Structure 1
Amino acid sequence: MKLLVHNISNDADFNLYLKHVESFDIINPFYKLLGANLNEIKEDVVRYFAFVKKDDDTILILMPFIFRKVPYQDQEETYYDVISPYGYSGPLFNESMSRGYLILFWEAVDAWYKQNYVVSEFIRFSLNHNFQFYSGKLIPTLTNVNGRLIDEEAQWAGFKPKVRNNYRKSLEHNLTAKFICDGITDEDIDVYYTIYITTMQRIGAHDTYFYSLEYFKKIIKLSKNNFVVVLIYKDDMAISAELILIAGDTLYSYLGGTLADYFKYRPNDFLKIEVMKWAKKHGYRYYLLGGGRSDGDSLYQYKKSFFPDDKDTIYYTGRKIVNEKMYQKLDAIMNAKVISEDSQTEVPQTKEDIHYFPSYRKPVTKT
């Protein structure tokens, strides 16, 4: 076995990367999304590991990553850290592969890190247990609602009463659902985007969620047939929308929104139940709704009301300190105690500050 490292710095590089991703048994669209905003990654370098057989270069494991210069540089050497692209990531491999290769993969990755002055690594793993044999610290980060799609009558009986009542109310107002897979038009994407961006503005979302219209067009293009856009209509007005990505037998609720003026018609509940009906009809087995902003919050409880009896799936992140000495040096330099300019007292750390990784990249808080 040998570990190859490839850069993704232009369209030709990315097309080769896509070819590798599509060679695996399950075409996972999340590994393609980094191409939607490739031009927006500035000084960072997008790369991927390919763990291959020596005799024929068959790729057993592939993993994209972003190779970043650390915020402070030693005079003698240039240091870096590694982070996975946003979304579900980590090593990609076929289920039939011997898990023993994962041990060899992480050994080879760690050796490469040491040779290339990597200080730390942060990975957002997928939800298919691809964190097995990870050589760093594994952190259970967020509980995700993952619902099994079953017989329609049994599915209905499993909902919380509020879900059933909301769906009945939506039927009274004659809501309809439109599912778009093949042949999606720019007009369809524009309708979806208007609902999405209006929702982000309404809820005061972080800047990172204000994706451009072009970003969504690229996602859909890259996903090929592994997506569905769902639009919910009240008469001729689209009032709710969701972009769903598909991997194998699972639908992943990705990004969506609802127009506030139409909440009274309960379009969110209507959308999710109609998606379940559509998915069951098309042979899918799971509908993954994701989690809340934090475990157990109101958003999580809302999602859980659709699958109250199903076992949740835990989203894990991986954290690894490769160079302990440099990590502590960076931490000391970048996190010198912040003093309030008015009171000359130390600003207390928040819970988020304490758990931020790598600690030397956490945002500085001042009063």
Structure 2
Amino acid sequence: MIREIDAKYWDATSTYGYGGPLVDDTVTTDELDIMLKGLQDFLYEEGCVSLFMRLHPIINKERERPPAIGKIIKHGLTVASDLTKSEEEYWQETQNQHRRGIKKAMKMDVTTKVEALDEENAKIFSKIYEETMANVGATDYYFFDDNYYYNLSKNLQGRLLLITAYQEDKPIASSLYTACEESGIMQYHLGGTLDDYRKLQPAKLITHVARDWGRENNYKLLHLGGGLGASLDSLYKYKKGFSSPSEEFDFKTYRLIVNPEKYAELVAKVGLSEEDLNSDFFPLYRKKAALASEDEANRPA
């Protein structure tokens, strides 16, 4: 996504989530350096100051040495459930507290529906998700209008899975997943639970159903992501509880200062403290604006 700085200069950032670039396994690190240098030269001529990309924890290839162009930062771990195991195996690996939650939801007659995302059920999901974000005090960055979901359903047909939990025909929780047959990876995207029904723990049942669906449809991994800011917090522990021992992956970001002189000039104009200058926020010249607007677009997923 291109973001304007002034009439001449701009910078670019990847969308929130786990992106790329994806590099063929036959490409050597030396060859990758040549391509990245070509990219840097092209972006420089076009007026780009910096480039920020979130790397995919599973697909992005580990290399013997990092590329010489740009910088890769490791932020923390993400977790995934191995779907090649039997139902009995991953049930045994599920944390006791999560197993009790799943059983409680079933006992309280919570049912689930697995379907493709469309305009009709997107409205149901949106209502649940927005209430959840409001209850946790999420910033505007985490809210989406209806067009976002409609565009997802239109442009990612056959790649999206919606799992909604009901009690007495009332939708009480819902989660959205991407599913890619080519890679064998299911990915948790967004989800929420109505506050009045949290005690029924429908979200745990939804994750359990997602694992079953993935295993039955020959997927390899259900990637749940990590904690806030890729930290090993309570959210990370919650996700890890669905598969212990979990498959764990490093979440990294790639940063490229395309125009060092302009970058330094922009940072100097902002007037950051010593602490801010030593932070891993990127690009640094956007740090104050991001904090002021509580925009977390350039923070680790």
Structure 1 length normalisation: TM-score? 0.71
2:147 corresponds in structure 1 to 214
Q: Quick one: which amino acid aligns to residue 137 of structure 1?
A: K
How far 1:307 sits from its partner (Å)?
Answer: 1.5
| 1:297-351 C-alpha deviation (Å, 9 max, x unpaired) | 11111111111212311221111223322222211112266xxxxxxxxxx8569
CA distance 1:131–1:205, change in 2 (3 Å): farther
How far did 1:118 drift? 2.8
Percent identity over the alignment is 28
Q: State the distance in 2 between where 1:186 and 1:118 align.
A: 37
Instruction: Give the direction of change, closer, same or farther, for the CA distance of 1:99–1:242 in structure 2 (3 Å limit).
Output: farther
Q: Distance in 2 between matches of 1:320 and 1:142?
A: 20
Q: Write the distance in 1 (CA, Å) between the matches of 2:237 and 2:72.
A: 25
**2:244 pairs with 1:308:** yes
Q: Deviations over 1:233-285 (max 9, x none)?
A: 11211111011011231110000100111112111111111111111111111
Residues 79 and 189 (structure 1), Cα distance of their counterparts in 2 relative to 1, 3 Å cut: closer
Conserved? CA contact 1:88–1:125, under 8 Å: yes
Question: How much has 1:97 moved relative to structure 2?
Answer: 4.9
* Cα distance in 2 for residues equivalent to 1:175 and 1:359: 47
Please state if 1:354 is matched with 2:268: no
Q: Is the 8 A contact 2:193 2:202 kept in 1?
A: yes
Q: Deviations over 1:98-134 (max 9, x none)?
A: 4465343212102212333432221112221157554
Measured in 1, the distance between the counterparts of 2:62 and 2:130 equals: 33
CA distance in 2, matches of 1:202, 1:159: 27
Distance 1:130 1:141 in 2: 16
Structure 2 equivalent of residue 55 of structure 1: none
SS in 1 for 2:279: helix
Contact persistence 1:90–1:131 (CA under 8 A): no
| Cα pair distance change 1:350/1:81, threshold 3 Å | closer
- Specify which structure has the bigger relative contact order, considering alpha-carbon pairs within 8 angstroms and separated by 6 or more residues: 2
2:100 pairs, out of 165, 169, 175, with 165
Shift of 1:205: 0.8
Higher-Rg structure is 1
Aligned-residue Cα RMSD (Å) equals 2.3
Return 5+ residue gaps in structure 2 as ranges.
293-301
Residue type of the alignment partner of 1:291: G
How many equivalent pairs are there?
A: 282
Q: Counterpart of 1:298 in structure 2: which amino acid?
A: S
1:145-196 deviations in Å (ceiling 9; x for gaps) = 1111110111111111111111111121111110002xx5433121111111
Q: Does 1:137 align with 2:71?
A: yes
Q: Is the 8 A contact 1:90 1:130 kept in 2?
A: no
